[in-house]
């Protein structure tokens, strides 16, 4: 009997030591001001511009994106964040009310941005199990619109299909919302949705009017107005080709894995114990 009491006491002490150890580890990795985090994500994109219709849910023409970010928690609710992304977008006038114009594009572009992430509540707020966040920032993207012509891929930007040498490195403003889904001591899984407003109307190589094709190279002229491929007569110079009143942009819905690199408590622990 004495043996069983001693054995039970030993098990109890072992369980207590494990719980204390887990509590200490949780405290070490608690996300306090001074915490550095790394996150990476994959997601879906949808371009918004002259070559799609926003309400056409039957032809979303989705693309993909991969991204990686680093963030620094400045206060219990505010973090600074910087991110790089590679995103694929596409658009086409096929199946739209402008299908007879026959324009299309696709693009694999990089972007970078830096800004702020704001948690709606503090992490220690016991009234909210899930704490969503908002983000906003400014950056740059590089435009690489392409299309397919006679079974070949053609880069559009250098052809000046509207007789305009547009800026291929425009500013962007990004904003969005995110929500944590699950978490362990050092890992978290988030869902995040953002919209990127591009300070250019040439993400899709379409913006204003049809130019005078008589002064253009044959390939540029052929890709400026593609109605002839459908047996249609060409548009006259000055006819509307795009809507310059609305700049282009793109949505990204991503799943993100967040990794805690270090916290003030973890750094202090390593200094104290040399770990």
Residue 142: phi, psi to the nearest 5?
-120, 125
Same domain flag for 112 and 11: no
The residue with greater pLDDT, 55 or 138, is: 138
Sequence-separated (6 or more) residues with CB below 8 Å from residue 142:
109, 110, 111, 168, 169
Same domain flag for 162 and 26: no
pLDDT over threshold 90, residue 213: yes
Instruction: Round to whole Å and give the CA distance between 156 and 242.
Output: 15
Instruction: Round to whole Å and give the CA distance between 120 and 117.
Output: 10
Same domain flag for 222 and 253: yes
Same domain flag for 177 and 63: yes
Same domain flag for 79 and 126: yes
Place of tokens 């039970």: 8
Same domain flag for 126 and 230: yes
Helix, coil or strand: residue 31: coil
Same domain flag for 50 and 26: no
pLDDT band of residue 24 (cuts 50, 70, 90) is very low
Contact 102, 235 (CB under 8 A): no
Into how many domains does the chain fold? 2
pLDDT over threshold 80, residue 110: yes
Name the pairing type of β-strands 249-262 and 133-141: unpaired
Name the pairing type of β-strands 249-262 and 152-155: unpaired
* pLDDT tens per residue across span 187-209: 999 999 999 999 999 999 999 99
How many CB atoms lie under 10 A from the CB of residue 188? 18
User: What is the reported pLDDT for 183?
Assistant: 82
Same domain flag for 14 and 46: no
Same domain flag for 9 and 123: no
- Quote the domain boundaries for residue 47: 33-273
Same domain flag for 131 and 220: yes
Instruction: Round to whole Å and give the CA distance between 198 and 141.
Output: 8
Q: Read off the CATH number of the domain in which 219 is found.
A: 2.40.160.20
Same domain flag for 22 and 38: no
Give the angle 75-80-85 at the CA atoms, nearest 5°.
150
Same domain flag for 89 and 219: yes
* pLDDT tens per residue across span 142-194: 999 999 999 999 999 999 999 999 999 999 999 999 999 988 888 999 999 99
């Amino acid at each position: 009997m004495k043996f069983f009491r001693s054995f039970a006491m030993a098990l109890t002490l072992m369980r207590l030591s494990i719980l204390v150890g887990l509590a200490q580890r949780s405290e070490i990795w608690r996300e306090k001001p001074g915490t550095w985090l790394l996150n990476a994500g994959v997601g879906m994109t949808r371009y918004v511009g002259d070559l799609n219709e926003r309400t056409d849910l039957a032809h979303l023409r989705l693309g993909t994106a991969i991204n990686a970010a680093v963030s620094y928690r400045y206060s219990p609710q505010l973090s600074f964040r910087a991110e790089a992304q590679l995103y694929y977008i596409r658009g086409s006038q096929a199946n739209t009310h402008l299908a007879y114009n026959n324009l299309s594009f696709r693009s694999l572009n990089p972007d970078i941005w830096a800004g702020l992430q704001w948690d709606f509540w503090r992490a220690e707020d016991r009234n909210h199990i899930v704490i969503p966040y908002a983000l906003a920032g400014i950056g740059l993207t590089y435009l690489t619109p392409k299309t397919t012509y006679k079974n070949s891929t053609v880069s559009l930007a250098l052809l000046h299909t509207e007789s305009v040498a547009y800026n291929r490195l425009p500013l962007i403003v990004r904003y969005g919302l995110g929500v944590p889904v699950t978490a362990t001591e050092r890992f978290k899984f988030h869902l995040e949705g953002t919209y990127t407003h591009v300070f250019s109307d040439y993400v899709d190589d379409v913006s204003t009017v049809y130019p005078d094709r008589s002064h253009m190279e044959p390939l540029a002229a052929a890709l400026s107005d593609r109605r002839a491929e459908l047996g249609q007569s060409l548009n006259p110079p000055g006819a509307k080709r795009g809507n310059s009143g609305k700049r282009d942009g793109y949505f990204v819905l991503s799943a993100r894995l967040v990794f805690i690199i270090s916290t003030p408590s973890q750094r202090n622990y390593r200094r104290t114990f040399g770990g």
